[in-house]
């Protein structure tokens, strides 16, 4: 295979940020390709700056390059200027390591972490010189594979992707490699149907469809029928089932789950980018899964159960990583990092390690306010203090009961107080609008909460800033809210105006919001069925790439595409689904029983909360019971604080379990804001 580097190099002077395209980062590998191994091109379908830090991609990159039957290179979406230069010079999509054409790889594997990148996926397949529709590909064209959270409703991309991997990829990619490598050399293909033509693409796909966690859409047939009278739109054409085409194909594809994160200490050699990227720091994964049970959160639902990395392995990965990369900041990542059992001792042991010499800061993305303590506040970012972010998500306690984010106002105020008391001056709060049962009182509660946080901060510092960042809620597959009809663009826009008006004149408070039009488009894709593929293709063919980027996003392209496909926003996005409606992802399982999700949905409508099952009896959601696995925690002690699972009275909130240090920073007011508290109550709860 011949490198494209000479042709690529000639284009670099014409484009912005040429370093996006050259590779050679610390941690990059330059694999040697062989005819008998499966060659993977791992693609993040957004820019280098967004895609490079992606930990899932980096983990698979290392694992595949360690295997004897595979090699892996990387690529990211070229920005529009580079794409234009490539297309006019006839340079196809290429890899960063050897600068090989994407077509030379056996597998183009896309990471799908957001719906708005789907048009980029089509664009990159096309830029690779591969047929965009899977049905049009020849036997030896690259296999198009996808993984990531969005694969739990893969149907909108079913016409373009040959196979999806559901759940954890660590083990599954090795199994896919084995099948592809065997097929490639014409040997016996594991799992191939008896008597199948060994060299055909169909044989390969049917063999892959027998691997656990691998979904091959061409092996399934969707069926449609006019809706009955119980449907809000009788006569509309609805999906009535998605069934296997072949006897050996499983009727239900279940996700993969690795049971022991301690067996997978990856990435061992995190990539250090050549230019500034998002999350530009060492990242070490603390745990996978989350059982807090926030009903809007797809990531929490589909990654159950909780699997914590052993604390000593976390420390080793941090120390080795800092030493190797030269970073002076490490993020301990997960869906809710303060929930890691023993978080304070882990953070302290990193910061106090002699090799860090007081120069390393630790950040905990996704902080849960009711597990945030002054002790944590004091430890994290002891070296460098940037902004702190909390996500109460709902503006009132009622709203937070509906979404099962059981954070009392006192929880939030105490956490914010803790942060300001330790010297922070900037706090960011994340909220959702357009949630089920939301009233204007709930929406306006956002400003009330944020305003109070400003007041608390003023007790410590003059120039505090609180930013309320507001996103529109998009119902996601495999969650209790999968049946909910999303708010319209107009309704979300009205709510944004309510918030802007209420926040006007509040010094120190800024409200930021996500474009409601982009929220509507996410909704088209997040719960779309296979017919949505025509919409995505139409948008792409009419120039709609980089739809995550506001300068390239255009709702008009999407509504025109819906029109062309005979679909409407009302039906695709804003419509409530009924209990027995067949959903496009019903033949795929994230482990959660459908009846558990429906029960949780009815509990939501009754504003009834559920405790964290990590520390309470199991509700039999299916994620552990169906797979013979269970939560793995690094410590037997629940995390500090918490409305859920730590005995707090869910109806009244109980005592806020925030720890206060005995000393306040110099110049700080004694106990402003949240009222007098016992300064040494150290995480204890009252009755
Ligand atoms: S099976 Fe039980 S313990 Fe496991 S995640 Fe579901 S409710 Fe929690």
Omega of the bond leading into 305 within 30 degrees of 0 (cis): yes
Query: Does pLDDT of 667 surpass 80?
Result: no
Strand partners, 244: 220
Q: Which helix (H) or strand (E) holds 177?
A: helix 172-184
pLDDT of residue 292: 87
pLDDT of residue 593: 95
Query: Does pLDDT of 275 surpass 70?
Result: yes
**In contact, 489 and 495? CB cutoff 8 Å:** no
pTM listed for this prediction: 0.91
Burial group, residue 28, by CB count within 10 angstroms (0-12, 13-18, 19+):
middle
Query: Does pLDDT of 670 surpass 70?
Result: no
Atom of ligand 1 nearest to the CA of 613: 8
620 lines ligand 1 (CB under 6 A): yes
pLDDT of residue 684: 24
pLDDT of residue 636: 57
Q: How far is the CA of 288 from the centre of ligand 1 (A)?
A: 14
- Ligand 1, residues 623, 631, 632: which to mutate, most atoms within 8 A of Cβ? 623
pLDDT of residue 455: 96
Residue nearest to atom 2 of ligand 1 (CA): 618
Average pLDDT over residues 492-501: 98
Q: In whole angstroms, give the CA distance from residue 212 to residue 148.
A: 16
Query: Does pLDDT of 340 surpass 90?
Result: no
DSSP 356-406: GTT--EEE-SSB-GGG--HHHHHHTTSS----EEEEEESSSHHHHHHTT--
pLDDT tens-digit map of 289-304: 988 899 999 999 999 9
Q: How far is the CA of 630 from the centre of ligand 1 (A)?
A: 8
Express as a percent the part of the chain with pLDDT over 70. 88
pLDDT of residue 645: 37
Q: How far is the CA of 642 from the centre of ligand 1 (A)?
A: 18
- The region of weakest confidence among 84-93, 420-429, 598-607 is 420-429
Q: How far is the CA of 669 from the centre of ligand 1 (A)?
A: 44
Closest Cα partner for 591 from 341, 287, 289, 296?
289
Query: Does pLDDT of 655 surpass 50?
Result: no
5 lines ligand 1 (CB under 6 A): no
592 lines ligand 1 (CB under 6 A): no
pLDDT of residue 639: 52
382 lines ligand 1 (CB under 6 A): no
Q: How far is the CA of 37 from the centre of ligand 1 (A)?
A: 39
Query: Does pLDDT of 230 surpass 50?
Result: yes
pLDDT of residue 344: 78
pLDDT of residue 371: 60
Query: Does pLDDT of 652 surpass 70?
Result: no
Strand partners, 40: 72, 107
596 lines ligand 1 (CB under 6 A): no
pLDDT tens-digit map of 127-180: 999 999 999 999 999 999 999 999 999 999 999 999 999 999 999 999 999 999
DSSP letter assigned to residue 343: H
Closest Cα partner for 601 from 470, 435, 433, 428?
435
- Ligand 1, residues 294, 624, 629: which to mutate, most atoms within 8 A of Cβ? 624
- The region of weakest confidence among 53-67, 416-430, 502-516 is 416-430
613 lines ligand 1 (CB under 6 A): yes
pLDDT of residue 675: 27
625 lines ligand 1 (CB under 6 A): yes
211 lines ligand 1 (CB under 6 A): no
Residue nearest to atom 6 of ligand 1 (CA): 621
**In contact, 56 and 148? CB cutoff 8 Å:** yes
Q: Which helix (H) or strand (E) holds 459?
A: none
Who has greater pLDDT, 644 or 625?
625
pLDDT of residue 634: 64
Closest Cα partner for 93 from 133, 144, 57, 147?
144
- Ligand 1, residues 254, 291, 300: which to mutate, most atoms within 8 A of Cβ? 291
- The region of weakest confidence among 221-230, 384-393, 611-620 is 384-393
Atom of ligand 1 nearest to the CA of 619: 7
- Ligand 1, residues 625, 626, 628: which to mutate, most atoms within 8 A of Cβ? 625
C-alpha distances (whole Å) from 169 to each of 60, 147, 148, 605, 640 are: 7, 8, 9, 35, 32
Place of tokens 């797979």: 627
pLDDT of residue 647: 40
Query: Does pLDDT of 456 surpass 80?
Result: yes
Query: What contacts 305, CB < 8 A, 6 or more positions away?
Result: 257, 289, 291, 623, 624, 629, 630, 631, 632
Query: Does pLDDT of 543 surpass 60?
Result: yes
619 lines ligand 1 (CB under 6 A): yes
pLDDT-derived band at 25, boundaries 50, 70, 90:
very high
Closest Cα partner for 250 from 589, 599, 639?
589
Atom of ligand 1 nearest to the CA of 618: 2
pLDDT of residue 379: 62
621 lines ligand 1 (CB under 6 A): yes
623 lines ligand 1 (CB under 6 A): yes
Who has greater pLDDT, 144 or 338?
144
Query: Does pLDDT of 548 surpass 60?
Result: yes
Residue nearest to atom 4 of ligand 1 (CA): 624
For 14, list phi and psi in degrees, rounded to 5: -90, -5
Query: Does pLDDT of 513 surpass 80?
Result: yes
Query: Does pLDDT of 584 surpass 90?
Result: yes
Average pLDDT over residues 465-491: 97
Q: How far is the CA of 371 from the centre of ligand 1 (A)?
A: 21
300 lines ligand 1 (CB under 6 A): no
| Average pLDDT score, the chain | 88
pLDDT of residue 366: 60
305 lines ligand 1 (CB under 6 A): yes
pLDDT of residue 632: 75
258 lines ligand 1 (CB under 6 A): no
Atom of ligand 1 nearest to the CA of 592: 6
pLDDT tens-digit map of 341-379: 878 788 888 888 888 777 788 887 766 666 666 566 656
pLDDT of residue 385: 57
Average pLDDT over residues 117-131: 98
Average pLDDT over residues 242-271: 96
pLDDT-derived band at 666, boundaries 50, 70, 90:
very low
Average pLDDT over residues 552-562: 97
pLDDT tens-digit map of 32-82: 999 999 999 999 999 999 999 999 999 999 999 999 999 999 999 999 999
Q: In whole angstroms, give the CA distance from residue 678 to residue 687.
A: 15
Query: Does pLDDT of 202 surpass 90?
Result: yes
624 lines ligand 1 (CB under 6 A): yes
pLDDT of residue 373: 61
- Ligand 1, residues 288, 303, 610, 618: which to mutate, most atoms within 8 A of Cβ? 618
Q: How far is the CA of 457 from the centre of ligand 1 (A)?
A: 39
């Amino acid at each position: 295979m011949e490198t494209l580097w000479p042709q690529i190099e000639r284009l670099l002077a014409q484009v912005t940020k040429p370093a996006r395209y050259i590779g050679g980062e610390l941690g990059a590998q330059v694999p040697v390709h062989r005819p008998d191994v499966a060659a993977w091109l791992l693609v993040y379908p957004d820019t280098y700056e967004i895609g490079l830090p992606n930990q899932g991609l980096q983990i698979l990159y290392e694992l595949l390059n360690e295997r004897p039957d595979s090699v892996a290179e990387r690529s990211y979406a070229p920005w529009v200027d580079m794409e234009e230069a490539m297309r006019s010079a006839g340079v196809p999509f290429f890899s960063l390591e050897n600068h090989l054409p994407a077509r030379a790889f056996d597998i183009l594997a896309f990471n799908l972490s957001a719906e708005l990148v789907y048009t980029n996926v089509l664009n990159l397949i096309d830029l690779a010189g591969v047929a965009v529709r899977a049905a049009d590909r020849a036997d030896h064209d690259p296999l198009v594979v996808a993984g990531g959270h969005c694969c739990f409703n893969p149907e909108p991309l079913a016409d373009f992707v040959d196979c999806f991997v559901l759940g954890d990829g660590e083990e599954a990619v090795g199994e896919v490699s084995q099948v592809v490598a065997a097929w490639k050399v014409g040997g016996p293909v594991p799992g191939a149907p008896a008597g199948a033509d060994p060299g055909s693409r169909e044989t390969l796909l049917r063999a892959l469809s027998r691997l656990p966690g691998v979904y091959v859409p061409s092996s399934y047939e969707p069926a449609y029928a006019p809706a009955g009278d119980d449907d809000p739109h009788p006569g509309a054409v609805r999906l009535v089932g998605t069934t296997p085409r072949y006897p050996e194909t499983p009727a239900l594809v279940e996700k993969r789950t690795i049971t022991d994160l301690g067996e997978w200490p990856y990435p061992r050699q995190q990539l250090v980018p050549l230019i500034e990227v998002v999350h530009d720091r060492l990242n070490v994964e603390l745990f996978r899964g989350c059982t807090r049970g926030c009903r809007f959160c797809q990531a929490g639902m589909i990654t159950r159960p909780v699997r914590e990395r052993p604390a000593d392995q976390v420390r080793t990965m941090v120390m080795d990583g800092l030493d190797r990369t030269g970073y002076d900041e490490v993020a301990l990542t997960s869906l809710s990092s303060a929930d890691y059992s023993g978080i304070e001792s882990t953070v302290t042991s990193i910061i106090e390690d002699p090799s860090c010499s007081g120069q390393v800061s630790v950040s905990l993305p996704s902080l849960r306010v009711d597990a945030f303590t002054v002790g944590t506040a004091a430890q994290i970012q002891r070296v460098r203090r940037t902004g702190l972010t909390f996500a109460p998500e709902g503006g009132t306690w009622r709203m937070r009961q509906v979404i099962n984010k059981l954070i009392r106002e006192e929880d939030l105020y105490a956490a914010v107080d803790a942060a300001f008391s330790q010297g922070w001056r900037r706090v960011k709060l994340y909220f959702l609008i357009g949630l089920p049962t939301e009233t204007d009182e709930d929406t306006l509660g956002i400003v009330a909460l944020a305003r109070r946080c400003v007041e608390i901060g003023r007790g410590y510092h003059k120039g505090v800033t609180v930013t309320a960042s507001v996103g529109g809620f998009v119902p996601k597959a495999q969650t209790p809210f999968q049946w909910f009809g999303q708010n319209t663009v107009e309704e979300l826009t009205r709510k944004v105006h309510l918030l802007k008006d209420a926040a006007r004149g509040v010094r120190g408070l800024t409200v930021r919001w996500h474009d409601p039009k982009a929220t509507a488009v996410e909704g088209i894709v997040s719960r779309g069925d296979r017919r949505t593929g025509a919409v995505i293709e139409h948008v792409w063919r009419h120039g709609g790439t980089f739809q995550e980027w506001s300068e390239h996003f255009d709702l008009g392209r999407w509504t025109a595409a819906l029109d062309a496909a005979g679909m409407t926003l009302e039906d695709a996005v804003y419509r409530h689904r009924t209990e027995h409606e067949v959903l496009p992802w019903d033949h795929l399982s994230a482990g959660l029983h459908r009846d558990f999700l429906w029960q949780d949905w009815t509990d939501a409508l009754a504003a009834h909360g559920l405790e964290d099952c990590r520390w309470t009896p199991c509700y039999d959601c299916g994620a552990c019971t169906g797979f013979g696995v269970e939560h793995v925690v690094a410590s037997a002690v629940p995390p500090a604080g918490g409305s859920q699972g730590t005995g707090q009275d869910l109806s009244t909130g109980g005592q806020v379990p925030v720890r206060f240090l005995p000393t306040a920073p110099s110049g700080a007011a004694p106990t402003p804001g949240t009222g007098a508290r016992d300064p040494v109550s150290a995480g204890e709860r009252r009755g």
